[in-house]
Homo-oligomer: A and B are copies of this chain.
Amino acid sequence: KTSFNIAVLPGDGIGPEVVNESTKILNAIGEVFNYTFEFTYGLMGAEAIFKTGNPLPEETLQICKEADAVLFGAIGDPSFDHNPDAKVRPEQGLLKLRKELGLFANIRPLKTYASLIDKSPLKKEIIEGADIQIFRELVSGIYFGEKFTDEEAGYAYDICKYNRDEIAPIVHMAFQEAQKRRKKLTLIDKANVLDTSRLWRKVCKEIAQKYPDVELDFMFVDNAAMQLILNPKQFDVIVTENMFGDIISDEASVIGGSIGLLPSASIGNENALFEPIHGSYPQAKGKGIANPVASVLSTAMMLDYLGLVEAAEKLRHSVEYAIENKYVTMDLNAEQHYSTSEVGSFIADYI
């Protein structure tokens, strides 16, 4: 297969700007490697609400279902964040899309770039050589459990719920990844308090018997939040439930020195979506200062997923080349910096 149908959802804030660099670069890759990437655009998030009233229009969902892969920018808008009463919210679009496409595993690789190591708030000796892969469960837990607010009585609740079938697939995936790496898997949970965490622990222990070469250990989420900063090198592969994964993986982004660098892949049995870890960063919208690297590296993960391993390697190499040569945006070098599209074009040209 040499022709691919990519659904592109630019989303909110800086989403459109960074995704634009990714499509530019995909075109360059298409030329060099003789692939055709067809882009079909869809609305999602605050943009979609403003234009259609719906954060995930039916048409967008169809586009995604039919695509070979989905490239997504970012979501979120401050006008909704500051209004706790809004019934329709941008994030509902992303959450619904994850659920509808069955994207149960969010994968976030974290590593440090030699040339950027001084950008991290952490000391060099703490992070140098850290290399962590986080597997976050993405379509269950408190994100998708029943929610309820009673305005009159003044209370609200959110239910965190898990069953074995929601836990097992991502745990298998994480074990398999650990087998390819340093053979250590850490489950992050709160099994001293939560029933759902105890179920995670149980399922992990059972599945561990199929992977005797991988060492499984357990860490409470409060301790993990501390250990990630004190000694990130102790981790190889991490697996965790949806909410803990949201918190832990954003926190862990400081290890790499900049959240503007970090990609993620959300994988299901039939579909996959690729997005930067960073949010919509509305303050930077339209200024041409957003770092496109996280989106571009998400695109590299997409190429891997599509089986275009050589192209993915080439792309990652080009990004490293740009970073080593300080062809970067403002967040990485305040003295001398380039715009979002200059960085994207530099990478595209290098390819």
Closest B residue, CB atoms, query A221: B247
Copy tally for this chain in the complex stands at 2
The answer, yes or no, to whether A305 is at the interface (CB within 8 Å) is: no
Closest B residue, CB atoms, query A157: B161
Tell me the residues in window 145-193 of chain A with beta carbons closer than 8 Å to chain B beta carbons: 145, 147-149, 153-165, 190-193
Q: Does B222 lie within 8 Å of A158, measured CB to CB?
A: no
Tell me the residues in window 222-279 of chain A with beta carbons closer than 8 Å to chain B beta carbons: 222-223, 225-226, 229-231, 243-244, 246-251, 253-254, 259, 279
Minimum C-beta distance from A265 to chain B (A) = 18
With a cutoff of 8 Å between Cβ atoms, the chain B residues found around residue A116 in the complex are none
Size of chain A's interface in residues, with CB distance under 8 A?
A: 67
CA distance A205 to B249 in the complex (A): 29
Closest B residue, CB atoms, query A246: B222
The residue that A84 contacts in the complex, of B143, B191, B254, with Cβ under 8 A, is B191
Q: Does A193 lie within 8 Å of B95, measured CB to CB?
A: yes
With a cutoff of 8 Å between Cβ atoms, the chain B residues found around residue A249 in the complex are 222
The answer, yes or no, to whether A91 is at the interface (CB within 8 Å) is: yes
Q: Does A195 lie within 8 Å of B247, measured CB to CB?
A: no
Given contacts A121-B231, A147-B195, A156-B196, 18 further A-B contacts (CB under 8 A): A81-B191, A91-B193, A95-B193, A121-B122, A121-B229, A122-B122, A122-B123, A123-B123, A154-B163, A156-B163, A157-B196, A158-B194, A160-B160, A190-B243, A222-B247, A225-B225, A226-B259, A251-B251
